[in-house]
Amino acid sequence: MKLTRKSTDLLIYNLLAERRMSGEEIGEVLGISRAAVWKAINKIRQNGVQIDVEGRRGYAIVEEMDVNPYKVASIAFRNLKFLDEVFYYTSVDSTNLRAREYGRPSVLFFAESQSAGRGRLGRRWESERGGLYFSLTLQPPLGFDDLSKLTLIAGLAVADSLPGAKLKWPNDVMVEGKKVCGILSEIHGELERPVVIIGIGINVSNPVPENAIRVQQFWYVDLTQVFDKVLKTFQHHYSLLVGGEWEKLRERYAEKCDTIGKVVKVITPTGEIVGRAEGIAKDGAIIIDGKKVYSGDCIHLRNYRSR
């Protein structure tokens, strides 16, 4: 289902999240008929929110599932200033695929589970219920060369939101050496005005593969709280990036990045590079033995002591 900032059902949900209200009152506040209120209330109920009605005192939310379209959309619209639309799926093939097909920027695609969750290079992302799976589309006022920084700051936003998290270059988020989040960013559209898709998968309470970890193993928190925190931090970092403050973000990224200071092997489309990861360059590349590398799969080999 699709929601915008003006969707009647979302507006009513937000009113009822505050307090009990009668149909008449809701109608007055939103400038709509009682019949329209009633119709929207039914829609909210159909989407998993239990609403109780008590005569003249009206409607109140009594119980809702831990994750539902209205909770997700309220969090998203509150945190992301640029956002226009939210698409919500209980199950979908891949939120990145939906984003690509839709084509427009300023949209969030959110799924409770994915049947064909994608990693990089055609790999699979396990996406059973209980995890966070979403894609954001953006058309940022940045030059083409700066777009890769967006992926880095998305990873940084997740790492800054989870206690004890570290980054593995380019944008895996790790806790206790195990992967808790992966990011798949894609660029499409015209070269002059590309749309960037940032797909984020975070293990929260879902079953995870070997060598992976979920948030609830180290933090007592629920899915929507993680979502709220990540979006808030992403908006903060995104504003810094667009405002020309990349330098601050670069320093922060380098602090959080466990890859720096290790001997690594990076597999790039043009070959393999083995060497010491020395730092993050001003343009967002990682520096390996003095050479800049922009993308690839990275394997940590060992720590090294600087001489």
135 class by beta-carbon count within 10 Å (0-12 exposed, 13-18 middle, 19+ buried): buried
Residue 183 lies near ligand BT5 (rule: CB under 6 A): yes
Interface with ligand BT5 (CB under 6 A), residue from 151, 203, 205, 233: 203
Interface with ligand BT5 (CB under 6 A), residue from 43, 118, 229, 237: 118
Whole-number minimum distance, CB 151 to ligand BT5, in Å?
10
Q: Give the pairing type, strands 107-111 and 85-89.
A: parallel
Residue 265 lies near ligand BT5 (rule: CB under 6 A): no
- Report the residue number, 133 or 169, with the smaller CB distance to ligand BT5: 133
Helix (H) or strand (E) holding 276: strand 271-280
Single out the residue of 127, 133, 68, 148 nearest to residue 96, CA to CA. Answer: 133
Q: Which residue is nearest to ligand BT5 (CB)?
A: 182
**Residues 132-151, mask of contacts with ligand BT5 (x by CB under 6 A):** -xxx----------------
- Report the residue number, 7 or 96, with the smaller CB distance to ligand BT5: 96
**For the residues of 202-238, what is the DSSP string, one character each?**
E-SSS---TTB--GGGT----HHHHHHHHHHHHHHHH
Interface with ligand BT5 (CB under 6 A), residue from 87, 125, 238, 253: 125
Whole-number minimum distance, CB 200 to ligand BT5, in Å?
6
The answer to whether 137 and 143 have CB atoms below 8 angstroms apart is no
Helix (H) or strand (E) holding 128: none
The answer to whether 129 and 206 have CB atoms below 8 angstroms apart is yes
- Report the residue number, 121 or 191, with the smaller CB distance to ligand BT5: 121
Question: Residue 272: CB partners within 8 Å, gap ≥ 6?
Answer: 265, 266
Whole-number minimum distance, CB 148 to ligand BT5, in Å?
15
Whole-number minimum distance, CB 92 to ligand BT5, in Å?
9
What is the total residue count of the chain? 307
CA distance 164 to 154: 17
Residue 188 lies near ligand BT5 (rule: CB under 6 A): no
Interface with ligand BT5 (CB under 6 A), residue from 84, 126, 146, 278: 126
Residues that bind ligand BT5 (CB under 6 A): 94-96, 114, 117-121, 123-126, 133-135, 172, 179, 182-184, 199-201, 203, 208-209, 212
